[in-house]
Structure 1
Amino acid sequence: MTLKKQLLQPLVAIFLVIHVAITAWLIAAQYQQLKQDHTAQLSRNIQLAGQALHPQLQQPDQHQLQQRLSELAHTAHWQNAQLELLAQEMTVSVALPPVVQTPDWFRALDFFPSQTQSYLIADHKSLVARLTVSTDPQLLYLHGWQAASNALLSLTFSLILALSTLYLVLHHQLKPLHLLATRADALLRNQFGAPLALPAPSDLKQVAKAINHVTVQLEKNFKSQAKEAMKLREQVYRDQVSGMGNRSFFISQLNSWLANSAKGGLALMKTSLIDECYRQHGFTAGDQLVRDIADELNEAIIYSDLTLARLSYDEFALLAPDISQEKLSEIGQVMLSVVTQQQTRVGSQQAAPAHVGLILNHQASSASTLLTQLDNALSQAAQSSQLIALMSEPASQVAMGKQQWKSLLIEAIDNDLFSYRFQPVIAGQQEIYHHEVFSAIQKGDQLYAASQFLGAIEDLGVGTLFDRHVIAQLVNRLNADPQLGPLSINLTNNSTCDPAFIHWLNKLLDNNQALAGRLFFEISESSFIHQPDATSLLCAAIRFYQFGFGVDNYGRHFKSLDYLTDFRPNYVKIDFAYTHQLNDPTKSQVLSSISRTAHSLDIMTIATRVETETQLERLSELFVDGFQGFITQPQRRFSKPSQIMLSS
């Protein structure tokens, strides 16, 4: 309970007691006054009535007396009236029905009992008659009800005004304390902000200074830890001159790709321009040329999930999953053009400053085999007049073209040809954190995994069609089956930077807020690095409706990890390059460092493709919180909604 509530509760209780006491006293005083006024009024009325009846008593007529007495009873609000003529032994009486104008429970309190008074009518010689009347208390109850209502209304208004004033005063006086508590809560969640303004109270000023100091220190520690992780990562996986991944990093990505789909393209470019520049212009100029070539390659080659690396002194390698032969050939030409532009800048006269070997692969292989094939393709390119050589499998084994994939995607959406399998992520005490959704197109007996066509559809800019369909279907399933989930859906790069998709997703989440906590979205790290503004809008929409999101391929890009502070994802999935060589102490240290960077922000770290108990135990020692792979639970495939029987 907050301090404000602790202060307000007793004060409100005191105000209520005072309110009740004052109200009761006022009502009691008013009721006593009503009784006194009623008694005095009754005495006056009965006296006036006696005087009014006196002339008719000289020659009494019972009917006329009855009528006159009834008129007087109505006027004076009597309930019963009785006139006794003493000489004639005649009695005239009137009884009027009560007028009910107040609630039964109020009359049952018996505040105003009926009053009875008598008045003797006499002439100058003797007594003539006795008038006895009983009052109707309903009029008193009506006046009492009105008085009580007015008193309650007035005092309730004053109570509300007093409590509102009290709340505003406390709120204003305790605002500095509230700001301190808010910042302390943010610090518990490792969220940093601008320094707090120092409050006026001297004691709170010291607390604010302490919190500001701790905030600065924690932020420095986090940035230092992130820099340490970057430094270690660069030492192991980054080429120091070009800023690209080195040979070790490329082979790690190559192994990850081979373990996943093994379908895509490889390119290896060798240039003699670098050696010439080093020999003729020195190390500074040579290093600058390497950096320029690397920067140009990174800017000129645009493809989803691309890996570029400096493989050796004068060789640059590229890995592009699920790429078409046409696109791979275009990339080869771009790589050559980058070197040609640099040749003009450094003034080289070489006839062939570079050549490129290309491989299009569609079947399981090994890293050493593919690197050997790349060397062979590079040798062929050196002998070719076009300076490019492409080695591919027979045409019957080559994947479909981009337009064919697009047609298949549209057909699958129109005819509901999608199937899904779910792989659990285990965290904590063997609890399921979520199930990652793997989508595929089932056409007849042929199954096309998403990894086969994602590159093609993203290259055509239609990844949003795929994402919309998958999300809409799985949202419907989650609504239909309360036991299903939580689920995690991967988003294409097309969707993360498409304003129309973000608007569509915003409306969908708004209409399905009951699914918050049961649906996560996975976004590639490249989106956070290369499209931070668009990705920020997407993440803001997801977070606003209290859904979750995570980072896929965490640590793949050689950029600062500070983006975690800005985006605050729920989890990160560590790139396979860091988790598959756990016996190498240096690489294990890199994994531990980048995991601690996320861990220090209370961001869950997840390792994928965990297949053995030894892997799991080793990863647990390196600040990894969650695990995904064959060791967690067998995967299941479902082709239609009616077949879902996902157990948790």
Structure 2
Amino acid sequence: MTLFREIYSLLFTLFLLIVASLGYVQFTETQDFLTKQMASDLNNASNSLGLMLVPALETGDTAAAETLVNVIFEGGYYQNIKLTWLVDGKQQEWHNSIRIEDTPQWFLDLHLFDTIKKESTITSGWLQLAKLEITAHPGFGYHELWRIISNTLIAFSLLFLVAILFARIGLGWILKPLHAISDHARNVALRQFSPDMPLPRTSELKEVVQAFNSMSAQLKQVFDSLDDEIATLRKKTLVDQVSGLPNRQYMVSRLNGWLNEPSNGALFLARLDCLEAIHNRYGYQIRDETIRLMSIQFKAQLDDIAPSLIARISAVEFAFLVTNVEYEKLNKYLETLIRTINQEITKADCKPNEHYAIGIAERIELTTVTDIMAQADNALQNALQNNKVYQWHSIHEQQIFTREQWRTKLNSAIKDKQFQFRWQPVLRTDTGAISQRELYCQLQLGDKLVHAGQFMPYVDLLSLGSLLDKCLIQALGDHDVFAHNPEPVAINLTLESIISPQFHAWLDEFLRTSAHTKHICFEIPELGVFSNADACQTLCDIIRKHGAKFGIDHFGRQFGSMSYLQKLRPNYVKLDQSFAYYDEHQQNSELCRALINVAKGLDIEVIVTGIQEKIQLERFAELRIDAYQGYIAPPIQLELDAAEDMYANTVNNG
């Protein structure tokens, strides 16, 4: 029971006791007063009637005596009058059985008044004429007592209701700071730090509010300091201090993640020997300023062409990781890169298209970080030796289909639901049990099975992301995957779905009609959070409203504040694969530890990804992660047509 209800119940009980006590006192005093009044009236009536009957009794006029008694009997509340003539012993008796109006019978049956009688002897001088016995009728007492008690109860009830109403309003106003403290404490428990509460006028509550404000401010400072620590570590370990761009370590980690995801693109390596000439001619300050200005122009000019990661990996070398683009867009990116370099080196009195070279290596299947770095470097060395501005790596993988062919085939596949599924278990670190299963999709085109890495870039390019997500989610629902699988199923959402109001409305309706929302998880890439925080908030509110779960994928990949965790409140985060080898660099280890501490401090589960071997998992033992995922437990095929036997199959397959 809440404090408000306890105090309210106490006041209610005390007021009820007071009203009951006052009612009892009023009742007994009224009863006693009416008893005395009836006795007094009876005595007066007896005396008056005795005096009035003397002449009739002296003359023996029975009719006159009866007339006089009737006058008295009919005018008052008398139950019985008995007149006994002493001369001949004759008795006359009058009895009144009339019910009292406006008084309920059950109240009369309570017998609240005792029988009141008055006996007297009527005399004339020393001569006794008759005996008179009058019994008072209690109806007068019952009528008056009922009227007074009824009015009193009505008055007390109205007073009681008014008092209770004012007590409720008053208690609500008095305890309002306590409600604010309760809400504030709940938010602090959820690691949501709101502005300081205003101080109440009550001294005791004022001290409590001051204590809560101080505690909230200190906890907020702790989490802010963790966020600042992450930003400092990133700047120290992953950012080149001169250019402000990511460094080689960050580029290599992103390459690892990129090559393990369904995507395509290319890696550009640019060697700018002209920077050494600027250094020799003007000194390192001018060289560093040129690098800084060139980096600004790189980001400004190239981001409009295609999404890319730009990093400075050595004194005169830059790397450009261009993802999810086709060959034609890579050519346009290369042209813009060359033009930007020429513009910047010309400002430093260097000749365009001289003293720099670019090597390009496209991603092909089963490419490793070492392979693609070596291919890009070989292309760069060939360009330098042959005095060329750029050189593509000689191996060029022919595209399966053109863009329009991909458009036709993807639209047809989405319409006919031609996708196949695999899923990979996420295992708990403490028990080894399956925490969830992450879903992956493949596309069946004729007799050829196309992996997501081949068609997902075209899904993004052709703006088919939300249609694909609807198709996959609906397919899982139609085959009762959520109903038959005991563990939650994690579905990766595309960036288009995250920002699409139409997809939000569709998902809201789908979850509303689904009976197994607790078995559905949605994964939002961290890039989506930083790209459109408001859209992510709307999507997460819809997911949470229907009881489904959601997590943040590639956690820690993006440069930015982790404060979004307090706003979105995800159920879990998946560390970016670049942290799978976190202990190979001490500084990277500190960053990984700080990211985990931020998430655990907000009571968010942490899942580490990219685990290939058991020795990798052992390195995370001291970091209190909740679960892990990787090819240590590889994906297995999911047969939608056998959904009824899904649970048995997944158990047998481990």
**So what's the TM-score if we normalise by structure 2?**
0.73
Residues 516, 547 of structure 1: 8 Å contact kept: yes
Q: How does 1:173-572 map to 2 (within 5 A)?
A: 175=177, 177-261=178-262, 264-272=264-272, 273-299=274-300, 300-301=302-303, 306-352=308-354, 354-381=356-383, 383=386, 387-389=390-392, 391-395=394-398, 398-420=399-421, 421=423, 423-426=425-428, 430=432, 433-443=435-445, 445-474=447-476, 481=483, 484-506=486-508, 511=512, 517-543=518-544, 547-572=548-573
Please state how far the C-alpha of 1:576 moved relative to its aligned partner: 0.9
Secondary structure, counterpart of 1:243 in structure 2: coil
- Matches of 2:232 and 2:464, distance apart in 1: 38
Residues 30, 145 of structure 2: 8 Å contact kept: no
The aligned amino acid for 2:264 is G
Residues 481, 640 of structure 2: 8 Å contact kept: no
For each residue in 1:469-509, what CA deviation from the matched residue of structure 2 results, as whole angstroms up to 9, or x when unmatched? Answer: 33445566779728654333222122223344345445555
Residues 268, 315 of structure 1: 8 Å contact kept: no
The aligned amino acid for 2:369 is A
- Matches of 1:499 and 1:488, distance apart in 2: 21
The aligned amino acid for 1:525 is E
- Matches of 1:167 and 1:479, distance apart in 2: 52
1:28–1:541: structure 2 CA closer, same or farther, 3 Å change rule? Answer: farther
Please state how far the C-alpha of 1:208 moved relative to its aligned partner: 3.9
Q: How does 1:110-125 map to 2 (within 5 A)?
A: none
- Matches of 1:419 and 1:103, distance apart in 2: 84
The aligned amino acid for 2:303 is I
Please state how far the C-alpha of 1:413 moved relative to its aligned partner: 2.6
Residues 184, 211 of structure 1: 8 Å contact kept: yes
For each residue in 1:494-547, what CA deviation from the matched residue of structure 2 results, as whole angstroms up to 9, or x when unmatched? Answer: 2223344345445555x3597665443322222233333443444455456665
For each residue in 1:202-231, what CA deviation from the matched residue of structure 2 results, as whole angstroms up to 9, or x when unmatched? Answer: 454444444444444333333333333333
- Matches of 2:309 and 2:494, distance apart in 1: 17
Residues 575, 607 of structure 2: 8 Å contact kept: yes
Q: How does 1:40-189 map to 2 (within 5 A)?
A: 150=154, 154=158, 157-158=161-162, 160-172=164-176, 175=177, 177-189=178-190
Query: When the two structures are aligned, how many residues end up with a matched partner?
Result: 626
Secondary structure, counterpart of 2:521 in structure 1: strand
For each residue in 1:418-471, what CA deviation from the matched residue of structure 2 results, as whole angstroms up to 9, or x when unmatched? Answer: 344353353665565443332333455544443432222222322122223334
Deviates more, 1:316-325 or 1:149-158: 149-158
Please state how far the C-alpha of 1:549 moved relative to its aligned partner: 3.1
Please state how far the C-alpha of 1:574 moved relative to its aligned partner: 1.0
Please state how far the C-alpha of 1:112 moved relative to its aligned partner: 9.3
- Matches of 2:144 and 2:393, distance apart in 1: 108
- Matches of 2:243 and 2:547, distance apart in 1: 41
- Matches of 1:23 and 1:432, distance apart in 2: 69
The aligned amino acid for 1:496 is I
Please state how far the C-alpha of 1:605 moved relative to its aligned partner: 2.0
Deviates more, 1:4-13 or 1:152-161: 152-161
- Matches of 1:343 and 1:232, distance apart in 2: 32
Secondary structure, counterpart of 1:621 in structure 2: helix
For each residue in 1:70-126, what CA deviation from the matched residue of structure 2 results, as whole angstroms up to 9, or x when unmatched? Answer: xxxxxxxxxxxxxxxxxxxxxxxxx99xx9x9999x999x6899x9x9xxxxxxxxx
- Matches of 2:27 and 2:255, distance apart in 1: 89
- Matches of 2:545 and 2:37, distance apart in 1: 66
Match of residue 578 from structure 1: 579
The aligned amino acid for 2:497 is S
The aligned amino acid for 2:469 is D
- Matches of 2:105 and 2:570, distance apart in 1: 61
1:380–1:476: structure 2 CA closer, same or farther, 3 Å change rule? Answer: same
- Cα RMSD of the aligned pairs, angstroms, is 5.4
Please state how far the C-alpha of 1:4 moved relative to its aligned partner: 3.6
Please state how far the C-alpha of 1:617 moved relative to its aligned partner: 3.0
Match of residue 12 from structure 1: 12
- Matches of 1:435 and 1:294, distance apart in 2: 41
- Matches of 2:19 and 2:591, distance apart in 1: 68
The aligned amino acid for 2:457 is G
- Matches of 1:478 and 1:440, distance apart in 2: 19
Residues 303, 320 of structure 1: 8 Å contact kept: no
Residues 19, 156 of structure 2: 8 Å contact kept: no
- Matches of 1:460 and 1:335, distance apart in 2: 25
Secondary structure, counterpart of 1:489 in structure 2: strand
Please state how far the C-alpha of 1:591 moved relative to its aligned partner: 1.7
Residues 230, 561 of structure 1: 8 Å contact kept: no
- Matches of 1:103 and 1:644, distance apart in 2: 75
The aligned amino acid for 1:364 is L
Secondary structure, counterpart of 2:583 in structure 1: coil
Secondary structure, counterpart of 2:358 in structure 1: strand
Q: Which runs of 5+ in 2 are unaligned?
A: 41-62, 64-96, 118-136
**So what's the TM-score if we normalise by structure 1?**
0.74
1:199–1:258: structure 2 CA closer, same or farther, 3 Å change rule? Answer: same
Percent identity between matched residues is 26
Residues 482, 519 of structure 2: 8 Å contact kept: no
The aligned amino acid for 1:7 is I
- Matches of 1:142 and 1:424, distance apart in 2: 78
* Bigger Rg, which one: 2
Match of residue 626 from structure 2: 625
- Matches of 1:446 and 1:190, distance apart in 2: 50
Secondary structure, counterpart of 2:414 in structure 1: helix
Secondary structure, counterpart of 2:437 in structure 1: strand
1:195–1:228: structure 2 CA closer, same or farther, 3 Å change rule? Answer: same
Secondary structure, counterpart of 1:469 in structure 2: helix
Q: How does 1:593-632 map to 2 (within 5 A)?
A: 593-631=594-632
- Matches of 2:12 and 2:328, distance apart in 1: 77
Please state how far the C-alpha of 1:607 moved relative to its aligned partner: 0.2
The aligned amino acid for 1:267 is L
- Matches of 1:225 and 1:258, distance apart in 2: 30
Deviates more, 1:401-410 or 1:520-529: 401-410
For each residue in 1:371-420, what CA deviation from the matched residue of structure 2 results, as whole angstroms up to 9, or x when unmatched? Answer: 2221233345554877453544453xx34344433333322332222344
1:152–1:595: structure 2 CA closer, same or farther, 3 Å change rule? Answer: same
1:154–1:5: structure 2 CA closer, same or farther, 3 Å change rule? Answer: closer
- Matches of 1:169 and 1:581, distance apart in 2: 54
Secondary structure, counterpart of 2:471 in structure 1: helix
Secondary structure, counterpart of 1:481 in structure 2: helix
The aligned amino acid for 1:161 is L
- Matches of 1:440 and 1:618, distance apart in 2: 33
1:507–1:246: structure 2 CA closer, same or farther, 3 Å change rule? Answer: same
